[in-house]
Amino acid sequence: MSIKERTLVKAAWLARDRAHAPYSGFKVGAVIENDKGQMFTGCNVENANYTCGLCAERTAIVKAVSEGALKPGTLRKVVIAAKAERPAGPCGSCRQVIEEFAAEDTLIVLSNEPGKVAMSMPHRELLPHAFNGRDLADAPK
């Protein structure tokens, strides 16, 4: 694991510590990296009305977008930290949001133990045949 990847994994686990998960107890942290090497963290935030909760991955992406640091095609890496028997990948909604900002070579990194990478994969493996803005641009008017 490179120094940069070690830093990203550590940041994801620190974000996980800040998660608000009083209902499920399942804490998740995430960190994203843009094309300029900037990092943005996020954690899951649950709500008594479950539909109002927000996942760690989307929290990190929304933070970066709101700071003007993420545009479509500039997301380089997503690191997800969750303590689980098997690595926890992003939910379907997060996969779609990742697709919106991903570059061709965006990498997803999953960690289910502090300081360790359980697996990594290109984002396209998580959402093959993804629906995105190009589909809307090509649609008949």
Binding residues for substrate: 44-50
Residues annotated as catalytic (active site), given as ranges? 57
Q: Per the annotation, where are the binding residues?
A: 44-50, 55, 91, 94
Which residues, 6+ apart, have CB-to-CB distance to 33 below 8 Å?
Answer: 8, 39, 75, 76, 77, 79
The whole-angstrom separation of Cα 108 and Cα 105 is: 10
Task: Extract the tokens encoding 100.
Answer: 């919106």
The radius of gyration of the chain's CA atoms, rounded to the nearest angstrom, is 15
